[in-house]
Amino acid sequence: MKKTSTKMAQPKAHSSGTAELLLEIGVEELPYQFIAPALSSLTEQAAFSFGYHRLSSGSINAYGTPRRLLLVVERLAIHQAAFTNEAMGPSKSVAFDQAGKPTKAAIGFARGQGVPVESLRVRQTSRGEYLFAVKEDAGRPTKTVLLEILPQIVGELSFPKAMKWNEAGVRFARPVRWLVALYGGAVLPIEVAGIKAGNKTYGHRVMGNGKTITVSDHLSYCRLLKRQGVLPDQEERRVTIREQLEKICKGAGLGLNADEDLLEQAVFTTEWPCAILGSFKLEYLAVPSEVLITSMKEHQGFFSLRDKKSGSLAAHFIAVANNELKNMSLIREGNERVLAARLADAKFFFDEDRKVRLEDRVKKLAGVTFHQKLGTMAQKQERVSELIEGIIENIRNIVGHPISSPDLSECQRAAKISKADLLTGIVGEFPELQGIMGGEYAKQDGESLAVSQAIRDQYLPRSIEGELPKTVEGQVLSLADRLDSLAAFFHVGIIPTGSEDPYALRRHATAIVRILLQDAEAIMLDLGQAVENARTIVAASGFKADPVQSGDAQRRLVEFLFERVRHYARTVHGLRDDVMNAVLYVANPQSFELHDLLEKMRALQSMTVKPEFDSLIVGFKRAHRLVEKEQWDRKSVDPSRFLDPSEGRLHDSVSQKQRGKMTGFMRAGQYGYAIDYLVELKPAIDAFFAAVMVNADDPAVRSNRLSLLQEVDDFFNSFADFSQIVVQGS
C-alpha cells in the first residue's frame, strides 16, 4: 500500500505563500444550545494551535448549523515560520580545559540540548564569555502539521453532554457522520472518530435529497450548499429570520414580542429558515399572557405577537420552520395542532389553580424543602417576613431618605404568601413563572396592587442585567429574600468557590447591589445592619452552623457583597480598583450604605486626576511607611518637643479642629469638600520632610515625630485607606 502522504495533492497557494483551510464536521442534529459555544471554542482552539505551531494566518471564522460545524481560515501560511532557539550554558573557562578541549560540563550541556558539542558557540555576555547552544528549526510544510493538529482541535471540543457511538470511542455531542478537510483545495486525509476526511459534504436533510456535494473551497462550499437548502453562515440566517419576521408582522398588522433568546434558538435549529404565521383559539386569551407566551416559547420555540393598537397579546404566533415547501400550510397546520394541545394544558392548569386561594396553599409550604440543611420554604418565608420588619425600620432611620417609606403591612402580607405559587400547577409546569403567577393569582384573590406587584417583583432582577423591581414594596421583598438566602447559605458553609455557584449566590449579591444603587427611586438602606439582622434571624432558626464559618462571619459576607460592588462600580461608573479598595477597606462592615460608599469613591477618583494629587499621595505614603515600619512608644504628640517650625505647622494641619471640619463634610456627604482638607496637607507634609529627619538621634524627638506622622496617617485613613492608591513614584 502506498503511503498516504504520496497521494496528497499540493495546496493551491496564493502568491504570498498562503492557502485557505476549510474543515467541516458533519453530525447528527446538534442541540441548538451547544452550537454557539462550540463555534467559539473552535476558533479559539484553532487560533491557539496555529500560533503555537508558528503558522501565520488571516481571519479565522467558524460557522454552524444543526448538522455541521465549519472552520474557515484565510491565508494560512503554507510553511511554518523558521525558529531559532538559544540556550546559555557554562562559562568558557569551565567548558574547556587548558588544551581547548571540551570538558564534561560542555559535553553534558550539549547532550542536554540535543546538539553536537562541536556546534556550541562562545559568546561575550555582560558576565564574560559563555557557551551557547543554537538550534535552528526551518519548520515543516503546513499540510504536514495540519495532519497532526486538526484531529486535536476537533478532539478538544467539549459539550455539556457527549456520547460515544462507535468503536472509535470518541466522545462528541452527536455522532460524527462525515468530514471535509481542504487546504488550498487539496484534501487533507485526517481521521476523526473513525471517519476519514474528503471533499464531499451534504445539503439539507430534506431539501438536499441526500445527494453528496463536492467542494473545493469556501466560496464553492457556500454556493453549492445554498442550492441544496443550507445557509451555512449563522449571521446570514439571523438576518433572513429578522426580515421574515418583520415582513409577516407588517403584512398581518401585528407587533412582534421581540425575544433574542428565541431568535438565537431559531438561528441554530435551522439550516434553511422559513417563518410562517399561525393562530390559536381566542378562548385561550383568557389565560394570563405570560402563561401563553411562555408556553409558546418553552414548548414550541414560537414567537408571540401582540395587537399594535391595544398592545395586548394576539391569538397568533410565528414559527420558524427548517424547511420550505410549496404548500407551507401543512407545516402551519401541524404547528397549530401541537400548540393547541399545549395551550389546552396551560388553560387546564390555570383553571385548576384558580380554585384554591394562595393563602390556602401557604400551610403546605411546610412540605416543600428549601434546602436539606436549611429547612422548608415555610421556614424561609417566615424568616423573610421577620427580616422585612427590620429592613423597613432600617430604611426609616436613614436621615434624609429621598422616597417615602414602604408600607410594612403590605410588605409582610406579600411575604406571607410570596412562595405559595410554588404549589400551583402552572409554576410546576413552568418554573420560570414563579413570582409572576403569584402576583397574578394574588390580584385575582383580591389582594392589593402593592401586594400583588411585590410578589411579582420578588425575583427581579432575574439576570445580571435584568429588569428591577417596580415598587418599593417589591424592592424590600426582593432584598429580604436575597439577604436571607445569602445569610442562610453562608451560615451552613455553602459559599461559592471558583466558578462553582450552584445556588446563584453571586447573582443574589449582584441583585442586591443593583437594587440599591442602579434605580434612582431605590430605597436607601444600612446594608451592614441588614446583613447582621439576616444573620441573626438565620442563627436563631437553629440550623447547624459550619464551624469553619464561625469566625468573622459578618465581614466575610460583607466582603462577598463588596466584590459585587466593585464589579458594579467598575463597569457602570468606570471606577479604578485602587480607588474602590481605598474606600471599602475602611468601611465598617457592621454599618454602611452603598450610595454613600459610591459617592465617596467617585469623589476620590475625581481628585486623582488633579495635578497635585500624585505628589500628595507620595508624601502620605512616605509618612505611612515610616509609621508602619518603625517602632515607638505611641505617646501623644508633645508640641514642646518640636525643634522646627514645620513640625508645628503639620500638627496644626491635622488638629482636632481640622479633623472635625472634615468629618462634618463627610457626615453631610460632601466628600469633595472633605478631600480638600487632605489636599491642604500637602505643603505642610512637604515642608516637614524637607526640614527634619524623622529618625533623629534623640529617641524622644524621634518618637514624637513618629506620633505626628501617625496623626497624619489617621487623618487620611478617616476618609479612605490611601495606602491602596497607586500613583507614579509611590
**Residue 497: its pLDDT value, please?**
82
* Whether 460 and 552 share a structural domain: yes
What is the sign, positive or negative, of the torsion defined by CA atoms of 620, 625, 628, 629?
negative
- Residue 469 in contact with residue 475, Cβ under 8 Å? yes
Judged on CB neighbours under 10 Å (0-12, 13-18, 19+), 596 is middle
Name the residue with higher pLDDT: 133 or 616.
133
Identify whether 195 is part of a domain: yes
Residue 11 has pLDDT above 90, yes or no: no
Identify whether 713 is part of a domain: yes
Which of 137, 152, 170 delimits the end of a domain? Answer: 137
Identify whether 268 is part of a domain: yes
Among left, alpha and beta (phi > 0; psi -120 to 50; other), residue 215 is: beta
With a CB cutoff of 8 Å and minimum separation 6, the contacts of 592 are 526, 527, 528, 558
**Residue 631: its pLDDT value, please?**
62
Residue 428 has pLDDT above 50, yes or no: yes
Judged on CB neighbours under 10 Å (0-12, 13-18, 19+), 692 is middle
* Whether 368 and 328 share a structural domain: no
**Residue 425: its pLDDT value, please?**
93
* Whether 265 and 201 share a structural domain: no
Name the residue with higher pLDDT: 209 or 323.
323
- Alpha-carbon distance 69 to 27, whole Å? 8
Q: Which residue has the cell 524627638?
A: 701
Overall domain count for the chain: 5
- Alpha-carbon distance 266 to 237, whole Å? 9
* Whether 382 and 422 share a structural domain: yes
| pLDDT (tens digit per residue) in 182-192 | 999 999 999 99
**Residue 399: its pLDDT value, please?**
53
**Res. 496 pLDDT band, cuts 50 70 90:** confident
Phi and psi angles of residue 121, each rounded to the nearest 5 degrees, phi first: -120, 145
**Res. 5 pLDDT band, cuts 50 70 90:** very low
Average pLDDT over residues 443-447: 93
* Whether 76 and 94 share a structural domain: no
**Residue 609: its pLDDT value, please?**
79
- Alpha-carbon distance 98 to 104, whole Å? 14
* Whether 175 and 255 share a structural domain: no
Identify whether 729 is part of a domain: no
Helix/strand/coil for 402: coil
- Residue 268 in contact with residue 35, Cβ under 8 Å? yes
CA angle 137, 141, 143 (to 5 degrees): 140
* Whether 585 and 654 share a structural domain: no
Peptide bond into 461 cis (omega under 30): yes
Distances from the Cα of 418 to the Cα of 405, 408, 480, 513, angstroms:
20, 15, 12, 22
* Whether 509 and 495 share a structural domain: yes
Mean pLDDT of the chain: 88
* Whether 241 and 311 share a structural domain: yes
**Residue 549: its pLDDT value, please?**
61
* Whether 458 and 500 share a structural domain: yes
**Res. 6 pLDDT band, cuts 50 70 90:** very low
**Residue 705: its pLDDT value, please?**
85
Residue 162 has pLDDT above 50, yes or no: yes
Collect contacts of 298-302 with beta carbons under 8 A, ≥24 apart. Answer: 298/430, 298/432, 299/339, 299/342, 300/335, 300/338, 300/339, 300/342, 301/262, 301/265, 301/266, 301/269, 302/262, 302/278, 302/335, 302/339
**Res. 82 pLDDT band, cuts 50 70 90:** confident
What is the sign, positive or negative, of the torsion defined by CA atoms of 119, 124, 126, 127?
positive
Percent of the chain with pLDDT over 70: 94
What CATH number does residue 50 fall under? 3.30.70
* Whether 567 and 481 share a structural domain: yes
**Res. 604 pLDDT band, cuts 50 70 90:** confident
Radius of gyration of the chain from Cα atoms? 35
DSSP tally for the chain: helices H, then strands E = 27, 18
Q: For residue 698, what is its C-alpha cell?
A: 534623640
Identify whether 573 is part of a domain: yes
| DSSP string of 150-210, one letter each residue | HHHHHHT---SS-B--STT---BSS-EEEEEEEETTEE---EETTEE-BSEEE--TTTTTT
- Alpha-carbon distance 408 to 662, whole Å? 37
* Host H or E run for residue 712: helix 699-717
Average pLDDT over residues 527-552: 86
| Residues across the chain | 730
**Res. 148 pLDDT band, cuts 50 70 90:** very high
- Residue 627 in contact with residue 717, Cβ under 8 Å? no
Which of 578, 599, 620 delimits the end of a domain? Answer: 599
**Residue 307: its pLDDT value, please?**
92
Identify whether 730 is part of a domain: no
With a CB cutoff of 8 Å and minimum separation 6, the contacts of 634 are 707, 710
Name the residue with higher pLDDT: 424 or 586.
424
- Alpha-carbon distance 266 to 260, whole Å? 10
Considering 411-415, 670-674, 678-682, the range whose residues carry the highest mean pLDDT is: 411-415
| pLDDT (tens digit per residue) in 684-727 | 888 888 888 888 888 888 888 888 888 888 888 788 888 887 77
**Lowest-pLDDT choice from 86-95, 325-334, 548-557, 575-584:** 548-557
Average pLDDT over residues 390-407: 72
**Residue 403: its pLDDT value, please?**
54
- Residue 513 in contact with residue 564, Cβ under 8 Å? yes
Identify whether 658 is part of a domain: yes
Residue 7 has pLDDT above 50, yes or no: no
For 489, the domain range is 361-599
**Residue 632: its pLDDT value, please?**
66
Name the residue with higher pLDDT: 282 or 607.
282
Percent of the chain with pLDDT over 90: 55
| pLDDT (tens digit per residue) in 213-234 | 999 999 999 999 999 999 999 9
- Alpha-carbon distance 332 to 716, whole Å? 72
Identify whether 558 is part of a domain: yes
**Residue 1: its pLDDT value, please?**
32
Q: Of 18, 68, 28, nearest to 213 (Cα)?
A: 68
Q: Where are the beta strands (DSSP E) in 499-598?
A: none
Which of 137, 168, 202 delimits the end of a domain? Answer: 137
**Helices assigned H by DSSP within 156-284:** 218-227, 234-252, 260-268
* Whether 100 and 248 share a structural domain: no
- Residue 478 in contact with residue 511, Cβ under 8 Å? yes
Average pLDDT over residues 336-346: 94
Q: For residue 213, what is its C-alpha cell?
A: 456535494
**Lowest-pLDDT choice from 117-121, 517-521, 596-600:** 517-521
Residue 633 has pLDDT above 70, yes or no: no
